A and B are shown apart, each in its own frame.
Chain A
Amino acid sequence: METSSPAAFVNGALLRRYIGQKVRAVVQVIRSDIGSVIGKSTDEQQIVIKGSPNQPLTIYLEVIGIAETENTIRAEVWTNFGDSFDAQNYNELCKLANGEFRHLFI
């Protein structure tokens, strides 16, 4: 089994801690451009996701990829999370997974 590249749960604020590393984030899609998607992180910050999804996107989207800057993720994996998703819960999970319970995750 490999544990080589964990992907940290991040919201907008946590993204800057992981520049150059693998992250996962759920965003609410604001608009899709060519080669990028603009989304709102679960703590309501604007995030640019680089790359092109290979399917139509639902309102909520999970991306796994590399944190390029404090508000950009280069996406490798796109997963539609549907139109109803509890972003607030996800945001709390991000905080716990990077805080008190970090050792279970990273």
Chain B
Amino acid sequence: MYGGEFDGNAAFAGGGFMPSQATTQAPDFSSAFKNRDVRTLLPLTLKQLNSASTNGESNFSIDGVDINTVSIVGRICRMENRITQVDFVVDDGTGCADCVRWCHERQETEEMEAVKLGMYVRLYGHLKSFQGKRSVNVFSIRPVTDFNEIVHHFTECMYVHMYNTMPRGGSIPQATATPRPQMPYSTNPTPAKPYQTGPSNQFPNQFNDQMHGVRQTVLNYLNQPMHLASEAGVHCDVIARDLRIPPLQVKDALEQLSNDGCVYSTMDETCFKSTANA
């Protein structure tokens, strides 16, 4: 699907990160995700982590999103060095979490040596459950040196919670051809988030906000993986043709998007590419 020609069927058929049409229409996102190998990276407060629901040994979910990798910022309040691993407890002020960092390689040992009791750390790991006891299997950890990172982390937790719990989707007429990536927040680019929020975007070509709708449609089009992957960008006439929008409107929309920093022109002033993932 990364070929030259735009193939609508391929783009919407569910390859890559795009939801299948069935997913788009299904209101129950959590079950739709279960069958897919979703690799989420969720920033969580430890209160969220400890209240995540579980349906088995190591299947956790929160806000309807399966938990895979978590990102935590907190203070190390207990630490115990063992032969093959370091056991420690992180406290972020909202709760505590037991963590394990296995140290087999030299690099892992060195990374762990930089971390001391009482330090603020940022860590990434997998949430595990063993005999009903939850712990985080850490695979990356580093001391926090700029303490604004703490504020940033919690702000991100709130944002992601809001992102995953706000009502999304709804009935999108197929003809408008605006794929709405309904993936959970993850390391994959979630293009141009500000444009995806708010109920007005659900009906891009209606109401008196028509120019905004065209902008959104064009941006969604350029945010498709195949267009993000293209070096040269997409010619404005091709966009107009594929989206069945008059070329002048497309040009206006591209100019506004360009001014907003959402897209940029590539080889000349007629080919455009989204700034997402650029």
Q: Which residues of B contact A1 (CB under 8 A)?
A: 46, 50, 95-98, 133-135
B154 A93 Cβ-Cβ under 8 A:
yes
Fill in one digit per residue for B90-114: 1 if any A CB lies within 8 Å of its CB, else 0.
0001111110000000000000000
- Cβ-closest chain B residue relative to A22: B93
Q: Is B131 an interface residue (CB 8 A)?
A: no
A3 B93 Cβ-Cβ under 8 A:
no
Q: Which residues of B contact A86 (CB under 8 A)?
A: 148, 151
Q: Is B130 an interface residue (CB 8 A)?
A: no
Q: Is B268 an interface residue (CB 8 A)?
A: no
CA A105 – CA B48 in complex, angstroms? 8
Q: Which of A30-38, A67-75, A96-104 contacts B (4 or more CB under 8 A)?
A: A96-104
Is the contact region of chain B dominated by helix, strand, or loop, or is it mixed? mixed
Q: Is A48 an interface residue (CB 8 A)?
A: no
Tell me the residues in window 35-72 of chain A with beta carbons closer than 8 Å to chain B beta carbons. 60, 62, 64
B47 A105 Cβ-Cβ under 8 A:
yes
Q: Which residues of B contact A79 (CB under 8 A)?
A: 75, 118, 120, 147
Q: A101-B161, A105-B45 are in contact. Are A2 and B151 (CB under 8 A)?
A: no
Contact size range, B: 20 to 34
CA A89 – CA B154 in complex, angstroms? 11
Q: Is B157 an interface residue (CB 8 A)?
A: yes
B47 A106 Cβ-Cβ under 8 A:
yes
A62 B154 Cβ-Cβ under 8 A:
no
Q: Is A20 an interface residue (CB 8 A)?
A: no
A85 B147 Cβ-Cβ under 8 A:
yes
B154 A97 Cβ-Cβ under 8 A:
yes
Fill in one digit per residue for B148-159: 1 if any A CB lies within 8 Å of its CB, else 0.
100100110110
CA A12 – CA B38 in complex, angstroms? 42
Q: Which residues of A contact B93 (CB under 8 A)?
A: 6-9, 24, 64, 105
Fill in one digit per residue for A1-18: 1 if any B CB lies within 8 Å of its CB, else 0.
111001111000000000
Q: Which residues of A contact B148 (CB under 8 A)?
A: 85-86, 89
A82 B147 Cβ-Cβ under 8 A:
yes
Q: Which residues of A contact B45 (CB under 8 A)?
A: 104-105
Partner of A104, one of B48, B118, B134, B147: B48
Tell me the residues in window 56-112 of chain B with beta carbons closer than 8 Å to chain A beta carbons. 75, 93-98
CA A3 – CA B97 in complex, angstroms? 9
Q: A101-B161, A104-B48 are in contact. Are A6 and B94 (CB under 8 A)?
A: yes
B151 A93 Cβ-Cβ under 8 A:
yes
Q: Is B146 an interface residue (CB 8 A)?
A: yes
Q: Identify the A interface with B (CB < 8 A).
A: 1-3, 6-9, 24, 60, 62, 64, 77, 79, 81-82, 85-86, 89-90, 93, 96-97, 101, 104-106
Q: Which 9 A-B residue pairings sit nearest by Cβ, starting from the closest?
A: A81-B147, A3-B95, A7-B93, A101-B158, A2-B96, A105-B94, A89-B151, A104-B45, A93-B151
Q: Identify the B interface with A (CB < 8 A).
A: 45-48, 50, 75, 93-98, 118, 120, 133-135, 146-148, 151, 154-155, 157-158, 161
A–B complex contacts, Cβ < 8 Å, 16 sampled:
A1-B50, A1-B134, A1-B135, A6-B95, A7-B93, A60-B147, A77-B75, A79-B75, A79-B120, A82-B147, A86-B151, A89-B155, A101-B158, A104-B94, A104-B157, A105-B45
